[in-house]
Amino acid sequence: MIRAIVHQGFIGQAIEYFAVVVGPDVDRRFFFEQISNPRGDVVRYFGGGSELVLNPEGVRFQGNGGIFGEYMFGGHLPVDDLLNDEVVNRLVLFGATSDEKSGGLKFTYNTTGFETYDNLFLQGNAIANYIFFIDDRKKYDDVTDRQSKTLRSAGKLMKRSRRVGIGQFIGLAHEILDSLGEPESTLVMLRVVNLANQKFAEKCREAHTAKLDVDELIADDVELGRVEAYQRERIQIDVIYHDPANQELIDEYKRILASCAGSTINPSARARLMRIRTLSLRNEVPLSIFDTLEEIVLQEPRVATNEAEPDYIESTREILGGFLLGKNIRRKLSSLDMVQLMENKQKAAANRDQTFEELLLETGRQIDEIGREEEDIERLESFGELVTLFDRIDHTTTLINKLAFMDDVELSQEQVRSLLGNMQVFESLRRGLFQQLFIEPIVSNEYVLSYGKKKLYAFTLGMISLENNEASIADVTASISAINRGERAYFAVYNLARRRMSNFYLELNTPEGRETFRREIKGEIGVDDELQELQDVITESLLEEVITKIRLEAFYINQLLPRIIDEQDARLRNDFLSNSGLDRFQIEELETEYFEMRAFPPQLLQAIQHPLVPEREAGAPAK
């Protein structure tokens, strides 16, 4: 007995579709036709007063049904859906509108319409979307009753089913029909796929797995080169989000934000959010993901306020507004304008303020609209130069962040050459701008690694030497490699030492104990195959550095931390962090280990790591 009929075909060369029809006597109650016309083939599925028509431009629909598809993390999601871990799909029913009085949905008779493919994949999933209708054999004569019943019976399934995202459309169709509880009804469902976006997503997954640049993989593919920039960004972010390691960080960020929804972010929550952002740098998660989350959870719906905009937004709005003036006004940005915008961009990033990027995107959109109506080469070229400059900023920030926050990161000669070119561009705008924008903010970051600082220092000296023709690009890469070898040696010896020690290293409290420890470690290094290649950098000074750090850890864990906990004195902790030279990551891991061993409540750890600032200390007047 036939339980389903499946069609597969193409609309032109850009769209692939799969049609599945399920229901009783499906071979006799199935209506379909192909129509040829000069614009291209048209495919039509119809029954019970409803129809879906695929034509070269888009999808025409009438009757009951709707559109659904998997949410993409790169786009904006409704807050309720975003904060519900079970909801993974977007669902739009034809004729459904928001009821302002009840806050729910109400259904209208306006269920006829047309959706272009561009809009279908822009508003919905960039790769695949589903369109459906139900032939219920006139069970419901009123289309609003039909839509309401579909929502009640199958809406939850369509919003939550994982089959949607992985393309199991036959099993999905049977599940939807079963959930309706209508033995006589037939479900007609189309899965419409954007082939270029699908191929680009596959390349993104390939690049992400192999840690390659997706642009390199698609360099020779003309078709993928035409994928819209916004869709490329959505797809790339979605691929990054679906990496399990990244998803954990992002979902935790989402949960913290959810606890702050409807209010401001308190200092404790902000500190945790910043911690996740820092950790995400190691996984190469774009910070724009977290910016998008904050915008959705905390600023939707947007409420107009009388608060003045920050200076960096006001000046950005003013400078970008110059692109939209009349044709007779010169739009070439001065070096002062460029520097101002660069500083504004970095200030906006530091404040996680999306307004700057929104202004830039909106200006680009308006320039495109004007460009379609009139030829204005100067406007396009000047704005293009600005976008290229911002690309240089993003590229430079990414590489320098890796150097500072990730272990054992090498710089290739090509990357150094690229950074040198970027630095020369920035320095041509204003002397010292490169240091101001990219080095100083990272050095002042409390989570920057100690070896990261060394690499930044070596990198800065190397770039200066390159400019003065006192060193080669190979010299710069070699200096970073040397520090990486020292870093690997340090952590190899450190980890070896930690494995040998117990009771938080009490035997290092005496000169004799330290000498015995040094002798034993040297002996183990001599027979450890993994350390053979690092023998030349495992020097007396490196051993002394390891011993000193371990003693500092022992002092902190055995003497200082118990006092900090008893007295709840976060200032004492901060003084130690500032003066010990230990990485903050390292101290926080030791604190976590200490608390777990003693089964202390995690809230106590949170209180000392991220204390609330008392009102008097925050600068409030004495009462």
Q: Who has greater pLDDT, 197 or 229?
A: 197
The CA-atom distances, in angstroms, between 110 and each of 138, 151, 190, 222 are 19, 17, 21, 41
Beta bridge partners of 16: 10, 193
Question: What residue type is assigned to position 590 of the chain?
Answer: L
**Which of 17-26, 120-129, 472-481, 567-576 shows the lowest per-residue confidence on average (mean pLDDT)?**
567-576
Residue 67 in this model has a pLDDT that exceeds 60:
yes
pLDDT (mean) for 80-109? 85
Q: At 308, phi and psi to the nearest 5?
A: -70, 145
Runs of H (alpha helix) within 181-306: 195-210, 214-217, 222-225, 229-241, 244-260, 267-282, 287-299
Q: Residue 618: its pLDDT value, please?
A: 39
**Is 158 in contact with 225 (CB distance < 8 Å)?**
no
Q: Residue 282: its pLDDT value, please?
A: 63
CA–CA distance, 450 with 448 (Å, rounded to integer): 7
174-206, pLDDT tens digit by residue? 999 999 999 999 999 999 999 999 999 998 888
**Is 404 in contact with 449 (CB distance < 8 Å)?**
yes
Q: Who has greater pLDDT, 270 or 91?
A: 91
What's the gap between Cα 556 and its chain centre?
36
The CA-atom distances, in angstroms, between 301 and each of 80, 85, 200, 261, 297 are 12, 21, 33, 11, 9
Range with top average pLDDT, 19-28, 186-195, 576-585: 186-195
334-392, pLDDT tens digit by residue? 788 888 888 988 888 888 888 888 888 888 887 877 776 766 677 777 888 888 888 89
Q: Residue 623: its pLDDT value, please?
A: 33
pLDDT grade for 237, boundaries at 50, 70 and 90: confident
- Is the overall model pTM greater than 0.75, yes or no? no
Beta bridge partners of 128: 193
CA–CA distance, 51 with 32 (Å, rounded to integer): 10
Q: Who has greater pLDDT, 291 or 313?
A: 313
Q: Who has greater pLDDT, 247 or 279?
A: 247
**Is 183 in contact with 134 (CB distance < 8 Å)?**
no
pLDDT grade for 326, boundaries at 50, 70 and 90: low
Question: What residue type is assigned to position 286 of the chain?
Answer: P
Q: Please name the residues in contact with 120: beta carbons below 8 A apart, sequence gap of 6 or more.
A: 58, 59, 67, 129, 192
CA–CA distance, 521 with 11 (Å, rounded to integer): 69
pLDDT grade for 146, boundaries at 50, 70 and 90: very high
HSE-up of residue 322 (Cα within 13 Å, Cβ side)? 19
pLDDT grade for 620, boundaries at 50, 70 and 90: very low
State the pairing for strand pair 128-135/89-93.
unpaired
Which of 168, 134, 118 has its CA nearest to residue 50? 134
HSE-up of residue 52 (Cα within 13 Å, Cβ side)? 26
What's the gap between Cα 144 and its chain centre?
39
The CA-atom distances, in angstroms, between 243 and each of 211, 319, 610 are 12, 39, 29
Percent of the chain's residues with pLDDT above 70: 88
pLDDT (mean) for 247-267? 73
Burial class of residue 115 in the structure, from the number of CB atoms within 10 Å of its CB (0-12 exposed, 13-18 middle, 19+ buried): buried
Runs of H (alpha helix) within 2-90: 79-82
pLDDT (mean) for 445-472? 88
CA–CA distance, 179 with 182 (Å, rounded to integer): 8
CA–CA distance, 403 with 409 (Å, rounded to integer): 6
Two tokens at 489?
């040696």
Question: What residue type is assigned to position 42 of the chain?
Answer: V
Q: Please name the residues in contact with 367: beta carbons below 8 A apart, sequence gap of 6 or more.
A: 323, 324, 379, 380, 383
480-523, pLDDT tens digit by residue? 999 998 888 888 888 877 777 654 444 666 777 777 777 777 77
Domain boundaries, the chain: 4-196, 308-446
